[in-house]
Structure 1
Amino acid sequence: MSKCAFLGLGVMGFPMAGHLVSKGHEVTVWNRTPAKAEDWASKHEGKAATTPEDAVAGAEYVCLCLGDDPDVEAVFDQIEGALANGAIVIDHTTASAGLARSLYERCAARGAHFVDAPISGGQAGAEAGRLTIMCGGDGEAMAKARPVMEAYGARITHIGESGAGQLAKSVNQICIAGIVQGLSEGIHFAESNGLDVAKVMEAISGGAAQSWQMENRWKTMVAREFEHGFAVDWMRKDLRIALKAAGESGARLPVTALVDQFYADVQAEGGQRWDTSSLVTRFDTSRKQ
């Protein structure tokens, strides 16, 4: 088994690091809030480090699960000099492809390797060890990183060269944005016409309209319960990254840009930490006006 460092213990990183221990890896964690790292260490057979540099000292694998480009850059600046020769950095943060390419080059200059490996599957997927992981990087690094990622990943796909994993994650978020908006409009339409939404969902969920969002979110959407799942703030961050990449490549994302502004409406109503399915609340606001 391998010596691993795991930096970032949010709702995703906390259980992911735990799965590494359960698979027999030696794990040292770090978190910006030290109490979170200590809490993790008290629940798993691992260690908590007080600095990122201490966490990665001697590590064969360094896993990152942070917030945004600036967070990844700040932590990487601290650990760069401590990376062991041949170490593999696996970045599970949803960040930009440009940053991935930059860190790939910086790792290569130190004799280390870098894999951008954003994840999908939410907190439930992280806790179950059933995440989808989209990867960019060299084939050799991927082959070495795969057994480690298999501790918490059920579907691991090597998309292409450095940055390709992050671009694939943008595709994922683009698709989700459109699906959630469509589901929100469908529920709003059913409610406005006095239909029994449960019966409507039973009727259509077995056909072409079926989706993960419908399967897992329609009940909480109808109940207007959003204190769970993937936060609107994080979705807007991801869509910002996607829209910026679209501008750089010439891709056109008119629906994505529109839904991004709809999420801005939800934020303005105080829903920054609500689940992304809270798009349906925009129709409640319109009825009040």
Structure 2
Amino acid sequence: MSQRAAWIGLGVMGYPMAGHLKSKAGIPVTVYNRTGAKAEKWAAQFSDKTAPTPAEAARDADFVFACVGNDDDLRQVTTGPDGAFQAMKKGAVFVDHTTASADVARELHAAASAKGLGFVDAPVSGGQAGAENGVLTVMCGGEQGDFDKAAPLIAHYSRMCRLLGPTGSGQLAKMVNQICIAGLVQGLSEAVNFGMKAGLNMEAVVEVISKGAAGSWQMENRHKTMIAGKFDFGFAVDWMRKDLGICLAEANNNGASLPITALIDQFYADVQKMGGKRWDTSSLIARLQR
């Protein structure tokens, strides 16, 4: 019998990820979204069906994927009264693509195990473009057997997927990722602003230095919009502050020092006060140009 899947959460990431799963894996995918109209749109586009609750979406599924907002949202769609864990069959695997805390991953792994379910925490990196193009990086935590079952399906919307350790390791790796990005974007913001103040043609400068040791994804993909002051796209400042809050809380638990991350988090708070809550994270440069 063919496998069946469910997808919970059809935001800017989940919508295209679920679409790749459906179109490339060729298996039935039942979707649930808090805003029903979004689920109906997806179902019409990909010729599949919706469900009124996470539990109904997950019923009879071999794999249930989720990509929601935060820890509380995740608890609601898993262990809540209408959550997926209430209806999933034994042996099914829940794959969580939400960027959340390592603590909630461990909590939900325990709840899933008690019901005979598998659980993989699998946050992603690559942004909306990566989701739309099916080339995300997926950082996973969990048991080898559960990962081995889920990996062939995750491959339909990723170019890198790896198990990095026990439950929570995926979320911890995503924290490492966000710490790196925050520092890179702040450094790029200062550099571009400095060059513009100095009267340099910064597009020409970046064309040169991006081929050297200073090069990065952020430089290649964000320098033009930073120079132009365009930020109405991409990964929102609100989301980055949520993620950095998770990083700082974890650092408080494990004793790691994150002085630069803490400072940049406050810089993003400044951007929020400027009205940039939904601006791309590259908008850090805007606070330097006030």
Q: What interval of TM-score do these two structures reach, taking the shorter chain for normalisation?
A: over 0.9
Structure 2 CA distance, aligned partners of 1:82 and 1:198?
54
1:186 paired residue number: 191
Q: Alignment identity in percent?
A: 56
- Offset at residue 191 of structure 1 (A): 1.0
Does 1:134 find its partner at 2:120? Answer: no
Does 1:196 find its partner at 2:201? Answer: yes
Does 1:271 find its partner at 2:276? Answer: yes
- Taking structure 1 as the reference length, what is the TM-score of the superposition? 0.97
What RMSD over aligned residues (CA atoms) do the two structures have, in Å? Answer: 0.7
SS at 2:156 equivalent: coil
Deviations along 1:47-102, whole A, 9 cap, x unmatched?
Answer: 11111111001111000000000100111122221111001000000000000000
Matches within 5 A, 1:19-168: 19-22=20-23, 23-76=25-78, 77=80, 78-168=83-173
Deviations along 1:211-230, whole A, 9 cap, x unmatched?
Answer: 00000000000001111110
Structure 2 CA distance, aligned partners of 1:25 and 1:241?
35
1:205 paired residue number: 210
Does structure 2 retain, via aligned residues, the 8 Å contact 1:129–1:152? Answer: yes
The equivalent position to 1:171 in structure 2, one of 151, 176, 195, is 176
Deviations along 1:120-173, whole A, 9 cap, x unmatched?
Answer: 011111111111000000000000010111111110011000000000000000
For 1:5, the aligned partner's letter is: A
Does structure 2 retain, via aligned residues, the 8 Å contact 1:21–1:45? Answer: no
SS at 1:160 equivalent: coil
2:250 paired residue number: 245
Structure 2 CA distance, aligned partners of 1:7 and 1:66?
7
- Taking structure 2 as the reference length, what is the TM-score of the superposition? 0.97
Aligned length: 285
- Offset at residue 112 of structure 1 (A): 0.3
For 1:39, the aligned partner's letter is: K
- Offset at residue 198 of structure 1 (A): 1.2
1:18 paired residue number: 19
Structure 2 CA distance, aligned partners of 1:273 and 1:107?
34
Q: Unmatched 5+ residue regions in structure 2? A: none
- Offset at residue 8 of structure 1 (A): 0.1
- Offset at residue 111 of structure 1 (A): 0.4
1:6 paired residue number: 7
SS at 1:48 equivalent: coil
Structure 1 CA distance, aligned partners of 2:18 and 2:47?
11
- Offset at residue 45 of structure 1 (A): 2.1
Q: Unmatched 5+ residue regions in structure 1? A: none
For 1:185, the aligned partner's letter is: E
Structure 2 CA distance, aligned partners of 1:48 and 1:226?
34
